[in-house]
Structure 1
């Protein structure tokens, strides 16, 4: 018992959090929040990184990535310093064209370009790229339609949505049968808490993680997001996790 308490105290002291597990009909998906818009998934011996950022230390204890998804060209998504610090020599990258154009210095086994609306498969995971962009649409917006990717992952009988940097767009609101969603909310880069909550209340994922919620004004109010979603619908479980361990 003393050893258990010591381990628990150590984990809490260093700001670590227990991984979440999503059970499928073919094994477990382990979800690891890393930082900001960065996460890792483990499934049946395979490791997937999304938007590696914040340094290699955030991935300590995880295997090297078999698959890496990158959503956009900005430094908190395509981060050369983090990618160079990780061993990506045997990783398969799935990225939009704009990201591929900036990856010359990254050590990799293969890069697959996936445009909005296209789909592909990596081992047992089906991956579809969907739009992510700012509203109103304009050529000089921070995120133009078609440049970056949101992703929908189909793993066994579960479907996972990763929003990337988006606002409250019709492509998100029209999603169906999403089991797990990672939804951004940080002004002025993406959308505010109210817009994110309203969109989530419409497409109703079984579980939603607010992530990517640091903006110019600090951290967004994810407790408010949870309250709005819970008031709008009982069908969505809002999971608040510590995406900013140093805060």
Structure 2
């Protein structure tokens, strides 16, 4: 009798978990495919600042957050990029539920200090300006910070990393949490950009638009656009960018498929 009860409880728990994963997968934004010289780059929005990139047989998790159900059905990570110490970027509970035990973790020093011990053997630390060539790709750490610079800013210069990845000849920029800093505006030859816009943590829609117009990526995804007052107006971002430059492909995707 006891065994039957335990079996029933286990099956019920499994069913609930499976239903949650199915719901998360069904509500997830559709993946995009972008051609590169060495096969397609797949862009899978997850939530907020989390995205999964697949290219060359490798899977890259960026700031995995929001629970493992959001990653259901995706290949295990070969590389995990983490931009900052805040819990919507460094999320130990989500990491614990994902198959990342053997993944290379590329992180800034502040994140390395806070990672759980079981990941320490797989960490490669990059500081702003440093570059790593690995697994057929390159990863360059880019500054991300608030303006004006101040010791008590939510994001101080040097603590976190944005990243530029080179994947099959395509340069992919991940802004992390930043404002429209000079280092962003000075970027060159960016093919795909993921740009944040959520006050008061990063920048407003107009700042993000003006930064994008300065560095002119081929494709830009507004992401990380939930702030204290709800979701930023990404449609206004697209309108502002394309009014000044119709050649920038602004791709609006649903990064908040379920309430977090």
Normalised by the length of structure 2, the TM-score is 0.88
Please tell me whether residue 104 in structure 1 is matched to residue 112 in structure 2.
Answer: no
Counterpart of 2:85 in structure 1 is: 73
Counterpart of 1:225 in structure 2 is: 237
Please tell me whether residue 148 in structure 1 is matched to residue 175 in structure 2.
Answer: no
CA distance in 2, matches of 1:136, 1:185: 16
Counterpart of 1:157 in structure 2 is: 169
1:88–1:108 CA contact under 8 A, matched in 2: no
Shift of 1:44: 1.8
Counterpart of 1:43 in structure 2 is: 55
CA distance in 2, matches of 1:157, 1:92: 21
Match of 2:144 among 90, 112, 132: 132
2:112–2:120 CA contact under 8 A, matched in 1: no
Q: Matches of residues 163-182 of structure 1 in structure 2 within 5 Å?
A: 163-182=175-194
Shift of 1:234: 1.4
1:89–1:109 CA contact under 8 A, matched in 2: no
Deviations 1:181-220 (A, max 9, x none): 0000000000000000011011110000000000000000
2:205–2:236 CA contact under 8 A, matched in 1: yes
Normalised by the length of structure 1, the TM-score is 0.93
Counterpart of 1:5 in structure 2 is: none
Bigger radius of gyration, 1 or 2?
2
SS at match of 1:34: strand
SS at match of 1:129: strand
Counterpart of 2:254 in structure 1 is: 242
SS at match of 1:48: strand
SS at match of 2:114: coil
SS at match of 2:188: coil
CA distance in 1, matches of 2:114, 2:28: 32
Deviations 1:75-133 (A, max 9, x none): 00000100111121111000000000001344465100000000001211100001000
Counterpart of 1:214 in structure 2 is: 226
CA distance in 1, matches of 2:100, 2:125: 17
1:134–1:144 CA contact under 8 A, matched in 2: yes
CA distance in 2, matches of 1:17, 1:108: 32
Counterpart of 2:16 in structure 1 is: none
2:29–2:46 CA contact under 8 A, matched in 1: no
Please tell me whether residue 62 in structure 1 is matched to residue 65 in structure 2.
Answer: no
Match of 1:188 among 196, 200, 219: 200
SS at match of 1:40: strand
Shift of 1:222: 0.2
- Superposition RMSD in Å: 1.6
